[in-house]
């Protein structure tokens, strides 16, 4: 990302909305915004193999593995406003497992792109399924969208829930039900 170009564009945007980019509170805003955008879109500069970095391990198990309440922060591609919430991931291994932190890292990688929640949910599920040839995968994201809360319909208490279920999570009602029950349990 070209920081100088982004800074120039932010200065122009400030002028367009009627602000003075030379006033004290805004002088460093273009540079700060360029740095923030570089971080918030860092998912474009990452890929699954590099992120996993060999952290796939052989394990004879076919039990469900769940990581829940993974914090998610992303930018809506329609308005460039944040959406945020929680991601719950479950999978049934078929001889290979991920290092557990990789589930959170995969979530962050896809979330740090301009997104819609539906695609984000599917991308995470497919990356896990393809990465370890899992028997099945379930991903549920619950998020609040500032584009719906701050503007438009202005519904502050709205929550969007999306799910992607693959393999046995899709084909077997009891597997899907076990996953949904486990992620719905109150935290200790």
Tens of pLDDT, residue by residue over 133-182, are 999 999 999 999 999 998 888 888 899 999 999 999 999 999 999 999 99
Distance CA 9, CA 25 (A): 18
Helices (H) and strands (E) in the chain, counts: 8, 7
The confidence score (pLDDT) of residue 154 equals 84
Q: Residue 62 above 80 pLDDT?
A: no
Q: Are residues 35 and 123 in the same domain?
A: no
Contact in structure between 86 and 141 (CB atoms under 8 Å): yes
Q: Residue 187 above 90 pLDDT?
A: no
Q: Domain with 31 in it: what CATH number?
A: 1.10.286.10
Tens of pLDDT, residue by residue over 6-52, are 999 999 999 999 999 999 999 999 999 999 999 999 999 999 999 99
Q: Which residues are within 8 A (CB) of 146 and not within 5 positions of it... i.e. 6 or more apart? A: 76, 81, 82, 83
The confidence score (pLDDT) of residue 70 equals 98
Tens of pLDDT, residue by residue over 109-138, are 999 999 999 999 999 999 999 999 999 999
Find the radius of gyration of the CA atoms of the chain.
Answer: 20
Q: Are residues 77 and 31 in the same domain?
A: no
Contact in structure between 99 and 73 (CB atoms under 8 Å): no
> What pTM, to 2 d.p., does this model score?
0.94
Q: Are residues 10 and 69 in the same domain?
A: no
Task: Locate 186 and state its tokens.
Answer: 């109150």
Q: Are residues 156 and 69 in the same domain?
A: yes
Expressed as residue numbers, the domain containing 24 is 3-40
Q: In this predicted model, which residue has the larger pLDDT, 53 or 138?
A: 138
Q: Are residues 62 and 17 in the same domain?
A: no
Q: Domain with 93 in it: what CATH number?
A: 3.30.1130.10
Q: In this predicted model, which residue has the larger pLDDT, 60 or 64?
A: 64
Q: Residue 60 above 90 pLDDT?
A: no
Contact in structure between 75 and 114 (CB atoms under 8 Å): yes
Q: Are residues 78 and 109 in the same domain?
A: yes
Q: Are residues 90 and 20 in the same domain?
A: no
Domains: count for the chain = 2
Q: Which alpha helices (H) appear in the chain, and where do they start and end?
A: 3-16, 29-40, 48-52, 101-111, 117-132, 146-149, 168-171, 173-184
């Amino acid at each position: 990302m070209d920081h100088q170009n982004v800074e120039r564009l932010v200065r122009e945007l400030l002028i367009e909305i009627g602000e003075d980019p030379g006033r004290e509170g805004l002088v460093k805003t273009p540079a700060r915004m360029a740095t923030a955008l570089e971080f918030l879109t860092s998912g474009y500069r990452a890929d699954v193999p590099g992120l996993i970095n060999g952290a796939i391990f052989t394990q004879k198990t076919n039990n469900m593995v769940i990581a829940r309440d993974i914090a998610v922060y992303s930018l809506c591609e329609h308005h460039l406003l944040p959406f945020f919430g929680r991601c719950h991931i479950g999978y049934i291994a078929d001889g290979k497992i991920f290092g557990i932190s990789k589930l959170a890292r995969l979530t962050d990688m896809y979330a740090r792109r301009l997104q819609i929640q539906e695609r984000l949910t599917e991308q995470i599920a497919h990356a896990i399924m393809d990465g370890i040839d899992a028997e099945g995968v379930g991903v549920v994201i619950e998020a609040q969208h500032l584009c719906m809360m701050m503007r438009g319909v202005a519904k502050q208490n709205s929550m969007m829930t999306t799910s992607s279920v693959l393999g046995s999570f899709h084909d077997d009602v009891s597997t899907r039900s076990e996953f949904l029950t486990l992620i719905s349990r109150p935290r200790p």
